[in-house]
Structures are given as C-alpha cells and as structure tokens.
C-alpha cells in the first residue's frame, strides 16, 4: 500500500491478488494486545510501519471488523425518535 500511495497509481494484477487475500485486522486482534508477548515482534514491526493515526485506525477495526470502512458511503442522520443518534451509511453507487 505504501508503494501504491507513494507512486500514486492503482495496483498491478499481482498486487491486486495480494491485496485481495488480506482479511483485515479482525483476523489477528492479538497483534494490538500489548499484553500478548507472543505477538510482540510482529506488533513492533507493524508499529514501525504505521504512523500514530494509522495505528489507531487499524486497532479500531479489531472491534468492528465486520463493518464497512468508516467513510465508504454517504452518511445521513435519520430523523427518527427510535434512533435519534444513529448514523447510517449508504454505499456510493457509480
């Protein structure tokens, strides 16, 4: 991802295949558990790769890995008494 971001380009087919295999952080929540010594080396490597904002965003996905990305759709606030503070996300269609 860093290379794609730096080069400002879409992934090549082989890169697309690698990215498609990624299952998200919810598959390995242990990497964010500071008390889990068996993941310390991996956690240290990952921490070196991610800045503070990226680390925080990645660790948040562990508890909500089944949701879509936070800003992947149009947000609106329903005008409902049943759900006064609920935000809903609609996928953006082409």
Answer whether 52's CB lies under 8 Å from 60's CB.
Answer: no
Q: Which residue has tokens 């889990």? A: 36
Structure token digits, residue 77: 């606030």
Q: Give residue 94's pLDDT band: very low, low, confident or very high (50, 70, 90).
A: very low
Q: What is the pLDDT of residues 63-93, one digit of tens each?
A: 765 544 444 444 455 555 555 555 555 544 4
Instruction: Tell me what percent of the chain is helix, strand and coil, each rounded to the nearest 5.
Output: 45, 10, 45
Q: What b/e readout covers 38-69, taking b as 16+ CB neighbours within 10 angstroms?
A: ebeeebeebeeeeeeeeeeebeebbeeeeeee
What pLDDT was estimated at residue 19? 87
Q: Where are the domains of the chain?
A: 2-91
Q: What is the pLDDT of residues 8-62, one digit of tens each?
A: 999 999 999 888 888 778 888 899 999 999 999 999 999 999 999 999 989 988 8
């Amino acid at each position: 991802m860093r290379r794609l971001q730096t080069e400002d380009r879409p992934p090549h087919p082989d890169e697309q295949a690698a990215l498609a295999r990624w299952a998200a952080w919810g598959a390995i929540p242990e990497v964010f558990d500071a008390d889990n010594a068996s993941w310390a080396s991996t956690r240290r490597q990952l921490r070196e790769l991610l800045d503070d904002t990226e680390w925080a965003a990645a660790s948040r996905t562990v508890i909500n890995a089944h949701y879509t990305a936070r800003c992947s759709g149009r947000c609106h606030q329903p005008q409902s008494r049943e759900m006064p503070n609920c935000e809903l996300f609609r996928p953006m269609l082409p």
